[in-house]
């Protein structure tokens, strides 16, 4: 007699618990994280992790895919392209901070995500925001938009992984203030 199959809703909850646990563990421990650590964080047996994700690579790829989807949805909802650049940066930072551990993992493991999708859905909206800010004189022009984008991502990862952790509002305010103080154009604004 074969084992009864879990219900789809249960499967989705278990998969989500594994992904949440894995994002937390990989963000905290990086390459040193084990599948045992993931299972413990998810509250499931190690065999259950392997039932859903047959390899560590499969788990990391799914985490990266899910994180890109989450980042894209949050950046789109934040409407960073519809407000002044400084407000767009604040909204973008909040969106990325809300992704949390999954964003840390995505930033570190971006090669596991679809590179074209990562560029289109994560990098491009931020880069365009900086370019728009540079065009109107709000953002300094002596640093290329690609470097500003990578700097912001690095700052977000650094604050998300800092100890002791800050609340999301404090993280967002700290990152936005630090970044804008360095990226803000000096001198009069263009018209």
Look up the CATH number of the domain holding residue 154: 1.10.357.10
Neighbours of 32 (CB within 10 A): 9
- Say yes or no: 43 and 67 in one domain: no
Buried b (16+ CB within 10 A) or exposed e, 117-139: ebeebbbebbbebbbbbbeeebb
- Say yes or no: 124 and 137 in one domain: yes
Least confident of 12-16, 67-71, 179-183, 184-188: 184-188
Mean pLDDT of 97-119: 87
Least confident of 32-36, 87-91, 104-108, 182-186: 182-186
> 188: burial class by Cβ within 10 Å (0-12, 13-18, 19+)?
exposed
Mean pLDDT of 132-153: 95
**CATH code where residue 37 lies:** 1.10.10
């Amino acid at each position: 007699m074969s084992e009864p199959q879990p219900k789809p809703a249960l499967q989705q909850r278990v998969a989500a618990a594994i992904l949440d646990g894995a994002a937390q563990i990989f963000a905290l421990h990086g390459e040193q994280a084990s599948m045992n650590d993931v299972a413990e964080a998810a509250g499931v047996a190690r065999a259950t992790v392997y039932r859903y994700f047959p390899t560590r690579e499969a788990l990391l790829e799914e985490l990266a895919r899910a994180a890109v989807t989450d980042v894209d949805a949050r950046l789109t909802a934040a409407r960073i392209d519809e407000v002044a650049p400084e407000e767009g940066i604040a909204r973008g930072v909040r969106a990325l901070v809300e992704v949390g551990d999954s964003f840390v993992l995505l930033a570190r493991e971006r090669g596991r995500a679809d590179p074209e999708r990562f560029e289109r859905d994560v990098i491009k909206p931020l880069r365009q925001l900086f370019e728009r800010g540079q065009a109107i004189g709000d953002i300094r022009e002596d640093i290329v938009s690609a470097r500003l984008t990578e700097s912001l991502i690095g700052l977000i990862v650094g604050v998300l992984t800092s100890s002791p952790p800050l609340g999301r509002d404090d993280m967002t305010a700290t990152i936005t203030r630090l970044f804008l103080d360095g990226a803000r154009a000096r001198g009069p604004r263009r018209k």
